């Protein structure tokens, strides 16, 4: 019989030690420090109000309007027929034979093609990097979009783009007190600040120019990099959100070229968050991916060419699909060597694989019905109806915001949000200070209590010192948008009247 023995000296030295319970004092401090504003205090307050209404309490409004997060289906956007029908047949293949006249031929053929490559169906694990057939579809989509080749073995399917960002940052940010950092736009999507905090990285802010329609100013970017390095931060990369969240700006190709040249010169990994690439509202604007511009510049990312290291992200959650809950997305690596790609695969393997429904949804997103397919006309009508309605709503929201006292708002050229600047009185700021909350959060809480509209304070995204903002989506249904904006205007007027100096 084997017996495990403990060295006597070690045993006596540790005999008085005991394990620690998991509580608020022993939890990882990085977890406590991480903040995610889009699901912060204002949302918690809205859930409390929802419970009170359900209990029969009379409030100044009849419903909670969730303008805090880009969640289209929660705001009654309809799913696309082709996408959902293919998924239905992948989940329940017998539906096609049980109902032979319900599903169009291209729906049935796509579902059969997917299930043939799944082995055990959608309930089985897939390759940790993702279903090979879907990765091939994505590579074809990227090649057609950019005019440059893409490789399926450089694509990783993930549970939404957010998981891909976390996997990449886990590889990028080293531990052991090395003070690694990431250039991050301000304002930014809080995924980046929260992930940096969790991983022990340093957020290196670079301010977007509100007066320049939230564009990137290269002098400011270089100054931020130099300042961080002077403080001992090893800046490993730069995050770029294009189109912007929360700002709605679209980067022109010349700006993208400038960022790429700086990244090559300074040895920075470019993290290109491109999940809003189908949400373009400005008539004379178009989306250009970082991958396209890089290849146009000669940074092909061929094996052994690591002059530019770029990782791009896309998701099923935005665009005209809005399938947030399916958690589909991918990342493509460019100029990243085989050794690092193997480590990315290992990290993906820790979750075994991303969910199969999300993987299939990603394939359908980037490979929708083509002209001549039975589902094409229905698909194009549904897509165009959604996009045209979103564009109208973006105009409605920005017009209404600029009509509010003390509010100015740049027009969103893309994405799903407005990020207006608000100017609050000293009285309002003192009231916020008395409650122990930032002034923009105080404003959002007061608007919520009066209107039921859930906004996100600008402080959760970062903002230039001395300024205050909030973020709102323009996702509420078009039929109710006018009433929502009237309610916002009434609540805003009441707030301003009650807090005049």
Distance between CA atoms of 279 and 77, rounded to whole angstroms? 15
Does residue 289 contact residue 310 with C-beta atoms inside 8 Å?
Answer: no
236 with 258, same domain: the answer is yes
Is position 361 within any domain? yes
Question: pLDDT band at residue 419, thresholds of 50, 70 and 90?
Answer: very high
Question: pLDDT band at residue 13, thresholds of 50, 70 and 90?
Answer: low
350 with 385, same domain: the answer is no
Q: How confident is the model over 41-99, as pLDDT tens digits?
A: 899 999 999 999 999 999 999 999 999 888 889 888 999 999 999 999 999 988 878 78
Judge residue 125's burial from the number of C-beta atoms within 10 Å of its C-beta, 0-12 exposed, 13-18 middle, 19 or more buried: exposed
Is position 231 within any domain? yes
**C-alpha angle 185/242/289, rounded to 5°?**
130
Summarize the confidence of residues 221-232 as an average pLDDT.
96
Per-residue pLDDT, 30: 81
Is position 463 within any domain? yes
Which residue would you say has higher pLDDT here, 371 or 41?
371
Q: What is the count of structural domains for the chain?
A: 2
Q: How confident is the model over 428-487, as pLDDT tens digits?
A: 999 999 999 999 999 999 999 999 999 999 999 999 999 999 999 999 999 999 999 999
219 with 297, same domain: the answer is yes
Does residue 216 contact residue 254 with C-beta atoms inside 8 Å?
Answer: no
Distance between CA atoms of 332 and 482, rounded to whole angstroms? 40
189 with 298, same domain: the answer is yes
Per-residue pLDDT, 428: 95
Q: How confident is the model over 137-154, as pLDDT tens digits?
A: 999 999 999 999 999 999
62 with 137, same domain: the answer is no
Is position 117 within any domain? no
Q: How confident is the model over 169-206, as pLDDT tens digits?
A: 999 998 766 689 999 999 999 889 999 998 999 999 99
177 with 223, same domain: the answer is yes
Is position 4 within any domain? no
Is position 102 within any domain? no
Distance between CA atoms of 394 and 392, rounded to whole angstroms? 5
Among 366, 391, 412, the domain-final residue is: 366
Does residue 282 contact residue 413 with C-beta atoms inside 8 Å?
Answer: yes
DSSP secondary structure of 314-381: EESSSTTT--GGG--EEEEEES--HHHHHHHHHHHHTTSS--HHHHHHHHHHHS-PPTTSTTHHHHHH
Distance, C-alpha 408 to centroid of its chain: 25
| % of residues, the chain, pLDDT over 90 | 79
Summarize the confidence of residues 371-386 as an average pLDDT.
96
pLDDT over 70 at 129, yes or no: yes
Helix (H) / strand (E) element for 418: namely strand 417-418
Does residue 464 contact residue 239 with C-beta atoms inside 8 Å?
Answer: no
134 with 70, same domain: the answer is no
294 with 423, same domain: the answer is no
pLDDT over 60 at 342, yes or no: yes
Distance between CA atoms of 126 and 137, rounded to whole angstroms? 16
pLDDT over 80 at 297, yes or no: yes
pLDDT over 70 at 4, yes or no: no
320 with 398, same domain: the answer is no
Does residue 76 contact residue 463 with C-beta atoms inside 8 Å?
Answer: no
320 with 390, same domain: the answer is no
Summarize the confidence of residues 381-393 as an average pLDDT.
95
Distance between CA atoms of 292 and 476, rounded to whole angstroms? 34
Per-residue pLDDT, 15: 52
pLDDT over 70 at 11, yes or no: no
Question: pLDDT band at residue 14, thresholds of 50, 70 and 90?
Answer: low
Question: pLDDT band at residue 119, thresholds of 50, 70 and 90?
Answer: confident
Per-residue pLDDT, 340: 93
Q: How confident is the model over 253-294, as pLDDT tens digits?
A: 999 999 999 999 999 999 999 999 999 998 888 999 999 999
Determine the structural domain holding residue 357 and report its residue range.
125-366
Question: The CATH number of the domain where 432 resides is what?
Answer: 3.90.1150.10
Is position 148 within any domain? yes
- Bridge partners (DSSP) listed for residue 206: 185
132 with 44, same domain: the answer is no
Question: The CATH number of the domain where 293 resides is what?
Answer: 3.40.640.10
Is position 94 within any domain? no
Among 313, 341, 366, the domain-final residue is: 366
Per-residue pLDDT, 336: 94
54 with 184, same domain: the answer is no
């Amino acid at each position: 019989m084997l017996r495990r023995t403990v060295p006597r000296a070690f045993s006596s030295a540790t005999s008085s030690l005991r394990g620690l319970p998991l509580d608020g004092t022993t939890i990882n401090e990085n977890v406590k420090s991480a903040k995610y504003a889009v699901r912060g205090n204002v949302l918690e307050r809205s859930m409390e109000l929802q419970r009170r209404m359900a209990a029969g309490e009379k409030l100044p409004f009849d419903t909670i309007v969730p303008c805090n997060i880009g969640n289209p289906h929660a705001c009654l956007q309809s799913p696309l027929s082709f996408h959902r029908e293919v998924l239905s047949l992948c989940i329940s293949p017998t539906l096609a034979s049980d109902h032979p006249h319900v599903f169009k031929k291209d729906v049935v053929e796509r579902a059969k093609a997917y299930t043939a490559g799944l082995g055990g169906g959608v309930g089985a694990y897939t390759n940790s990097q993702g279903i090979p057939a879907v990765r091939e579809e994505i590579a074809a989509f990227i090649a057609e979009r950019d005019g440059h080749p893409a490789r399926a073995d450089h694509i990783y399917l993930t549970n939404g783009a957010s998981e891909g960002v976390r996997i990449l940052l886990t590889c990028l940010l080293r531990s052991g007190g090395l003070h690694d950092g990431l250039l991050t736009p301000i304002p930014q999507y809080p995924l980046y600040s929260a992930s940096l905090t969790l991983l022990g990285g340093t957020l290196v802010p670079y301010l977007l120019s509100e007066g320049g329609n939230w564009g990137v100013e290269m002098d400011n970017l270089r100054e931020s990099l130099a300042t961080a390095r002077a403080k001992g931060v090893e800046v490993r990369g730069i995050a770029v959100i294009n189109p912007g969240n929360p700002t709605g700006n679209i980067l022109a190709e010349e700006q993208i070229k400038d960022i790429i040249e700086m990244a090559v010169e300074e040895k920075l990994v470019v993290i290109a968050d491109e999940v809003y690439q189908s949400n373009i509202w400005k008539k004379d604007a178009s989306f250009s991916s970082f991958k396209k511009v890089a290849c146009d510049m000669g940074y092909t990312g061929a094996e052994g060419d690591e002059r530019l290291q770029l990782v791009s992200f896309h998701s099923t959650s935005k665009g005209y699909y809005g399938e947030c809950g399916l958690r589909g997305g991918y990342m493509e690596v460019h100029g990243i060597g085989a050794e690092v790609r193997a480590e990315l695969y290992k990290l993906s393997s820790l979750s075994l694989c991303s969910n199969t429904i999300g993987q299939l949804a990603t394939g359908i997103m980037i490979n929708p019905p083509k002209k001549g397919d039975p589902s094409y006309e229905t698909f194009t009508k549904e897509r165009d109806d959604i996009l045209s309605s979103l564009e109208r709503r973006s105009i409605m929201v920005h017009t209404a915001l600029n009509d509010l006292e003390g509010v100015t708002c740049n027009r969103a050229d893309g994405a799903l949000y407005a990020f207006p600047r608000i100017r609050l009185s000293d009285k309002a700021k003192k009231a916020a200070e008395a409650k122990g909350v930032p002034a923009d959060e105080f404003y959002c809480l007061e608007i919520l209590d009066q209107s039921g509209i859930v906004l996100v304070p600008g402080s959760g995204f970062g903002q230039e010192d001395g300024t205050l903002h909030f973020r709102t989506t323009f996702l509420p249904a078009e039929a109710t948008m006018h009433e929502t904006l009237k309610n916002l205007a009434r609540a805003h007027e009441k707030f301003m009247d009650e807090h005049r100096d």
